[in-house]
Amino acid sequence: MADDSGITVLIATYNRAAVLSETLEALTHVDRAGVDCNIIIIDNNSTDATAEVVKEYGTKLPVSYLRETRPGKNCALNKALRECELKDIVVFTDDDVTPTQNWLQEIASSAKKRPEIAVFGGKVEVVWPDNKQPEWAKPEWIMAFGFPRHHYAEGEAFYKTPDCPFGPNYWVRKTVFGKVPFFDETLGPRPKNRIQGDETSFVMNLREHGFEILYYPGAEVYHRILHEGCTIPWLRRRAYTHGRGQVRLHGLHRRNIYRKNKIVWGMVLVLDELYTTLRFLAGFAITDSNSNCEATVDAMMRFGQIHETVNQVFKRFVARNGSTEH
């Protein structure tokens, strides 16, 4: 039988034992006084020392280990939602965060102060490698999708549609799983075929079921940007997965044209692909890193939108023809 109080923290991880170790060490410094808390690490079939790291912290933290062999962060989280005893508040965070000392106290406080609210988002600050933010990473539109800094408001505030909390720091009452029991397993981080938008899809689904979402900045984490995640090639790959996610979350690329005339839409899509290819190649030839980043990352995001749109239309075509044949 599930507990009726307290906090469960869920962290999915894959082949980042050293990064996870730093996060677990940070959690040992978080104030848990008076908070009934447990931490569940869901290992998404890692081949490194992840299991050993969790075992090492078993004497320092109320931490348990779960393994999911199916690839995908959402597959890992869903395993925990299916199989684990959850406390009243379920917190979702990442394996590369450093919470503030009062993080759990603030989460507990939010639930007590606002019993009518079931979905909360917290503040996320970014920690750059060597404490230095690259110039090419400073534009707001790049920060918005590439590096999850989240300062939604100065104080408590309700999220306006379509705004949502960020993945490294949000929490829900376990009662919400009666309406939205699981994450979409076709979205989120995975070794191959990644599509961004996993947390956003889940929270958007909660909003559609009538849940209000409260930004609660007192609960704050620092998201540690890794060296390998602070390069323009990495950002291009992320832009592509972000573009794919935008289609999954908000609909087809050029959907207004698609509704009016599918032949014209197909021609426009081909022209978009050609234009985007030229923009990428021109941007790639620019020696200035800031301009290079802006042009190529924008192009990769558009590639993602175009390619996922084609993928979704093809799936619809196959599904429609398959059902017709039967």
Residue 240 confidence (pLDDT): 98
pLDDT band at 281 (very low <50, low <70, confident <90, very high): very high
Of 43 and 2, the structure prediction assigns the larger pLDDT to 43
pLDDT band at 321 (very low <50, low <70, confident <90, very high): confident
Residue 247 confidence (pLDDT): 97
Instruction: State the average pLDDT for the chain.
Output: 95
**Statement: residue 317 has pLDDT above 80:** yes
The structure tokens listed for 281 are: 């190649």
Residue 280 confidence (pLDDT): 98
Q: Which fold has domain 7-229?
A: Spore Coat Polysaccharide Biosynthesis Protein SpsA; Chain A (3.90.550)
Q: Where are the domains of the chain?
A: 7-229, 232-325
The per-residue pLDDT for range 3-30, each reduced to its tens digit, is: 346 999 999 999 999 999 999 999 999 9
Residue 324 confidence (pLDDT): 55
From residue 234, alpha-carbon distances to 197, 239, 304 in Å are 17, 9, 14
**Statement: residue 155 has pLDDT above 90:** yes
Residue 38 confidence (pLDDT): 98
Residue 192 confidence (pLDDT): 87
The per-residue pLDDT for range 34-93, each reduced to its tens digit, is: 999 999 999 999 999 999 999 999 999 999 999 999 999 999 999 999 999 999 999 999
pLDDT band at 320 (very low <50, low <70, confident <90, very high): confident
Residue 323 confidence (pLDDT): 60
Cα distance between residue 15 and residue 50, in whole Å: 7
Judge residue 135's burial from the number of C-beta atoms within 10 Å of its C-beta, 0-12 exposed, 13-18 middle, 19 or more buried.
exposed
The per-residue pLDDT for range 157-197, each reduced to its tens digit, is: 999 999 999 999 999 999 999 999 999 999 999 888 899 99
**Statement: residue 153 has pLDDT above 80:** yes
From residue 18, alpha-carbon distances to 11, 13, 57, 144, 179 in Å are 14, 11, 13, 27, 36
Residue 140 confidence (pLDDT): 92
pTM, to two decimals: 0.93
From residue 227, alpha-carbon distances to 18, 19, 81, 168, 231 in Å are 13, 12, 32, 18, 8
Residue 2 confidence (pLDDT): 37
Residue 224 confidence (pLDDT): 97
